[in-house]
Amino acid sequence: MKIVGIDQSLTNTGLATVQDGAFTFTGRISTDKMKVKGHKRIDVILDKTMETIGSAGPADVLVGLEGPAMSAKGSAVVQIFGLYAVLTRELYRAGLTYFVATPQHVKQYATGKGNANKDEVLAAVIRRHPDIDFASNDIADAMMIAAIGARRVGAPVEATIPARCLEVLAKINWDHQG
């Protein structure tokens, strides 16, 4: 089974895939460098995300994505929620099973604290996976989302992690299906 973790963002979407208990891909979509905005930006993110998911049949893929921060503010809020809606709709249309991890779920799985800051999450992921070359918060978040999914299907990428990190598994809504 292929597990895909997505930390969607309007500027830098983190992506990570796990197969057979190991990370097989980590990367990001940087729309800032592309100088695209509005619907074109959402199309680019959606297309590249679905390309990462690939052509495996729906029974062979589990997708995890970070839910939008409910405390988000500012002029981009509508686009952030729009991206989330379009992405989950596309997963539904493709018949893919997916789960949504809140930002607090991702932080707790990585650090044991649901209120950790982004740098604490990054440091925790680097400690857990020193063999993977990455240096961005969005990729670290995507890796933790994929790791959550891998643990759920019985193919964890980490042999052991603290029990307080595992508590988050019972809090996630696993029932999203396309």
Closest CA to 45 of 102, 94, 96, 83: 83
Widest distance between CA atoms in the chain:
43
Per residue, the 3-state secondary structure of 103-170, as one string, reads HHHHHHHHHCCCCCCHHHHHHHHHHHCCCCCCCCHHHHHHHHHHHHHHHHCCCCCCCCCCHHHHHHHH
Domains and CATH numbers, the chain: 2-177 (3.30.420.10)
Query: How do the pLDDT tens digits run along the chain, 178 residues long?
Result: 999 999 999 899 999 999 999 999 999 999 877 788 888 999 999 999 999 998 766 778 999 999 887 666 666 788 888 899 999 999 999 989 999 999 999 999 999 999 999 999 999 999 999 999 887 999 999 999 999 999 999 999 988 899 999 999 999 988 776 5
pLDDT for 178 equals: 56
Q: Other CB atoms closer than 10 Å to residue 87's CB: what's the count?
A: 21
Query: Within a 10 A sphere around the Cβ of 28, how many other Cβ atoms?
Result: 20
pLDDT value at residue 89: 94
pTM of the model: 0.93
